[in-house]
Amino acid sequence: MSSCIILSKRYLNEYNVIPGVEVQSSSIKDLKVSSEEECAKACSLEKKYTFDFDKSPKLKFKNPSSESFSVVSIETCASQCLEKSDCLAFEFCSDKYSSKCRLSVNNITETNVENEETCDINIKNIKTQKPFVTSNSVTAANVGYKPGLAAFLAILMLAVGASIGAVVMWYVSSRFSLI
């Protein structure tokens, strides 16, 4: 007797739902769907993964820092990189006989790439990051501020504002004083 595991995919989980917010943009294709899930599925199946990367043509990694594999398309390579949270870029090399994909977990610099006619390096762009965060995920600690610095800056701004206000009040009262 064998057992079977049934898995299902919720395409809507790939998107950030923001109640009350509508994205205003021109659509590439109008879809007739009956639910949000169907809409998310249609968008996921139409996705061009390479849109999430900036292309640097005719370059390859000197020492690839992650896995490499043979692939059929650049879209497959881009998809593989997006699935790995530590992947920062990928190299896609192809000629008329084969294509190869190499993923990289290192930042791309002039010292770790070299020219290659049949290859392109594709670097994850800023749009790839999820744009919306929950309020408890952004703290002073993870954006580089120390708690005391924020308090100091707030007090400093109040003092500057009060000083400017006092100077303006003095000027106005001395200029337009009633004699």
**Running along the chain, 179 residues long, what does each successive block of 10 average in pLDDT?**
68 72 66 82 75 90 78 86 88 90 86 91 73 40 62 88 90 75
CA–CA dist 157, 151 (Å, integer): 10
Q: How far apart are CA 85 and CA 169, in angstroms?
A: 56
Pair type for strands 113-124 and 89-94: antiparallel
pLDDT (0 to 100) of residue 179: 54
According to CATH, the topology of domain 53-130 is Hepatocyte Growth Factor (3.50.4)
CA–CA separation, 31 and 157 (whole Å): 51
pLDDT at position 90? 92
pLDDT attached to residue 162? 92
Token output for 31: 């879809």
Which pLDDT score, from 0 to 100, does residue 144 have? 56
Structure token pair of residue 152: 């100091």
pLDDT at 25: 62
Q: What is the CA radius of gyration of the chain?
A: 27
Name residue 168's amino acid: V
- DSSP letter at 146? -
Residue 39 CB neighbour total at 10 angstroms:
16
Enclosing H/E stretch for 57? strand 53-61
- Closest C-alpha among 56, 152, 158, 156 to residue 109: 56
